[in-house]
Structure 1
Amino acid sequence: MTQSTVYCIDSSALIDLKQLYPIVTFPGLWHEMSELVKEGRLIAPREVLKEVVGDRDLKPWLRQNKRMFVALSDEQLAIVTDILRDFSPLVDFAKETADADPFIIALAISKKHEPQELFDTRKYVVLTSEKLSNTPTPKIPNVCEHYHVECLAGSTALTQFFRQEGWEFWNTPRGPK
């Protein structure tokens, strides 16, 4: 029996990826990210797309990988309602565009409840650059902890993600200068 990990990625992780590992400088990394999308192992709610669609550096990659963005289901909407009831400070209700945070967590929870293949089970992990909060204002990792959802979070989240996937990137020498 094999278990594969599906990552529900937050806009903060996508933005950090772009800033720390620019697409033009780290094409191998972004190729691997696209492969995860093709395998259905890198997903996000459409609300994440709404948060990052204006980023001109990410836009071409987002366009090529639009299948990663999942439409909101009735089950996810019910979970979002529960999250907002229990963790209302998670979102800023004054914002014009909805915060994606509760939708990311709801996606991971709902996918975890879907029927699985007999010999290919999947675990769902939230990937965010947000850190666990010690204040009354919760962050994604706090809510994940409450709902028992695995979460790669904070400044080491991307490194943990690369290690879990077994990724190593090497500079290919270009020859004498």
Structure 2
Amino acid sequence: MQVFDASSMIYAWDNYPLQQFPGLWDWMANQINKQFLVMPSVAFDEVAHKAPECGKWLRNNNLELLEINNAIIHDAMRIKNLLGIVGDKYGSGVGENDLFIIATARTHKAEVVTDEKWQPALPKKLENCKIPAVCDMKGVAVPWIKFIDYIKRSEAVFR
């Protein structure tokens, strides 16, 4: 199962328009139908706000939304502590919703699909880590992939 971050869904919507890539979106709808592609509710809310037509398409295709429960909240707080984030003093890296997305993937033993920038080395201030760097951290260890690599790995051919 892949847990999509808002960044990847918006990237896909903006760069592979439905009208020009209907085969891709038919395949995405099939992935949703099989529950291989899901989103945490917080990621969906971001998509629906920033790309309303994409949010409507996802709703019309019955995207499964993973709700944020106590286990996810506790894991997100644990990750927040690993990053040294105190209170609401987030740096230029992950925000609260990002932590929920990562914790959701951990809870469901899933892979995150994100198009946030990869940082080959951890920043000096851990609160400046983006989703991929946090996923790679010891104590988090969540697999992640970029949208384009998700498509390539599938080996699907879109006609």
Asked if these proteins are the same fold (TM beyond 0.5), I'd say yes
Q: Does 1:28 align with 2:23?
A: yes
Partner of 1:65: 61
Structure showing greater radius of gyration is 1
Alignment of 1:32-71 (within 5 A): 32-54=27-49, 55-71=51-67
How many residue pairs match? The answer is 146
Identity value in percent: 26
For 2:142 and 2:153, how far apart are their aligned partners in 1?
A: 17
Residue identity matched to 1:32: W
Q: 1:138 aligns with which of 111, 117, 129?
A: 129
Task: Provide the alpha-carbon RMSD of the alignment.
Answer: 2.2
State the shift of 1:92 in Å. 6.7
* Structure 2 SS opposite 1:80: helix
For 2:9 and 2:34, how far apart are their aligned partners in 1?
A: 18
For 1:92 and 1:131, how far apart are their aligned partners in 2?
A: 21
For 1:92 and 1:62, how far apart are their aligned partners in 2?
A: 32
Partner of 2:6: 11
Judge conservation of contact 1:92–1:99 (CA < 8 Å) in 2. no
For 2:55 and 2:108, how far apart are their aligned partners in 1?
A: 26
Alignment of 1:19-168 (within 5 A): 19-54=14-49, 55-87=51-83, 88=85, 99-112=96-109, 124-133=110-119, 134=121, 135=123, 136=125, 137-146=128-137, 147-152=140-145, 157-168=146-157
Where structure 1 has 5 or more consecutive residues not aligned to the other structure, the ranges are 1-5, 113-123, 171-177
Where structure 2 has 5 or more consecutive residues not aligned to the other structure, the ranges are none
Judge conservation of contact 1:10–1:128 (CA < 8 Å) in 2. yes
Q: Which has the higher helix share?
A: 2
TM-score, normalization: structure 1? 0.74
